[in-house]
Chains A and B, each alone.
Chain A
């Protein structure tokens, strides 16, 4: 067993343990919102995202003995598990639902700056929905998951430079779409 998760507390990964180890708990607290954000962006379904995020942490907890630091960071390993769970869910349900996240009420009372910000977010959200699934996944891993290009490459099976290039092109496309929309 190697890696920070495994080395956090020696012997803490025995299945007889009632509670997760401190190392895994730390990983959970560090990544849970990001994993959920990534999965929700990919699935565009809040209920499915909750189910898949929970599955991802369950699987990660059960497979924590298989983590190898030489194969990448803990985050890349966890997001790889989450990705597989999300793709399984997509495949199972053939889900191509539109984003169910509640749109912000741009007509709500507020300052002009607040209204402009809400409009800007809505524009970006709509443009994001028009991206191809693979492109949207790249954006989700980067901005919802907060992963580095190297970690994105690990998750998607790409080289870091290739992941960076694809992400740059996707952002340019997204920026152009947003400008046109505006």
Chain B
């Protein structure tokens, strides 16, 4: 008597011989797909490089668009309208003065092309490197140089510490005519680490102040004549009040003219003292370190921004894939219910 297990194995459905032969043939052919495909099938291996390149390009495009899309940092375009508006505002605040754009000193009052003598405001920056032990003597030499060149030290600061950074800063005024000689003498005091000079033509401003001063003087002369001819007390009082106003304006314009003249007659020289050892060695190291840190920050910034885009997409993709797989599994199991 056969057991139940024996019978269950006996009744196992056997494949039809024709089907067996068909499967044998397909196995030898490598199980070609029997489905008709509307589009030519691309293998994953051939598609993968294209997909990777496309994905990378898409991520780069999205990242660049996000990085470059910050409207808050976009510079405001400079237009003639904005410049003229700014100039008009300056004029409204100080109606008695010429309209001078602070960013372009020579433009608001014109460039005064007919002026015979150009008024140039000069300045120079000098960085001197020396042993900190010699800073005291160097500072004295700077003071002596300024005095010898008929100039003076407007302000100075000087630090010298055992462990801290040593250095000094001097702001000198020297006659513009002797600027080059003063710079050459100062350069001979220590090793020159940096030297630069700049000049700004303020002839237009100077001419404008001078012309307004002449006009004010002419007005005062006219008022004085009218005062001599005045017969009533009220007329005399009114003319005196106007003379007082014009007198104040003349005084102010004279001050402006004197200041402008001083700016052109005396050049400003900034002298900085630095430690020659720390300057060279630490400068190169600091520069390299700054470059490395900057590069690292750029890379990190890019990675963080890219991760901010890629990670949510990847997470959404994984969750979607899990949901689809779970739904399909449940649907399959339901078919057995």
Q: Which residues of A line the B interface, CB within 8 A? A: 15, 17-20, 25, 28, 32-34, 36-37, 40-41, 46, 49-50, 53-54, 57-58, 61-62, 84, 87-88, 90-91, 101, 117, 120-121, 124-125, 128, 133-134, 137, 139, 142-144, 171, 174-175, 178
Contacts and interface: CB of A to CB of B under 8 A. Distances in A.
A88 B23 CA distance: 21
B26 interface: yes
A61 to B, nearest CB: 4
Given A28-B27, A121-B11, 10 more contacts: A18-B30, A32-B15, A50-B15, A54-B26, A84-B332, A90-B335, A101-B13, A117-B2, A124-B7, A139-B8
A51 to B, nearest CB: 9
A100 B267 CA distance: 112
Contacts of B30: 17-20, 61
B43 A15 contact: yes
A2 B332 CA distance: 28
Interface residues of B, number: 34
B72 interface: no
B12 interface: yes
B27 A57 contact: yes
B93 interface: no
Closest CB pairs A-B (n = 9): A40-B13, A87-B332, A143-B8, A37-B12, A90-B335, A91-B335, A61-B31, A133-B336, A144-B12
Nearest to A104: B11
Interface in B305-337: 331-337
A32 to B, nearest CB: 7
A41 B334 CA distance: 18
Nearest to B33: A58
A28 B31 CA distance: 11
A57 B34 CA distance: 12
Contacts of B337: 133
Contact of B13 (A17, A36, A62): A36
Contacts of B104: none
A171 to B, nearest CB: 7
A174 B335 CA distance: 22
B4 A144 contact: no
Interface in B1-24: 2, 4-5, 7-16, 19-20, 22-23
B335 A87 contact: yes
A40 B334 CA distance: 19
Contact of A49 (B9, B13, B20, B33): B13
B137 interface: no
Contacts of B5: 143, 171
Nearest to A144: B12
A36 B15 contact: yes
Nearest to A122: B11
Given A17-B30, A19-B29, A124 B331 contact: no
A145 to B, nearest CB: 9
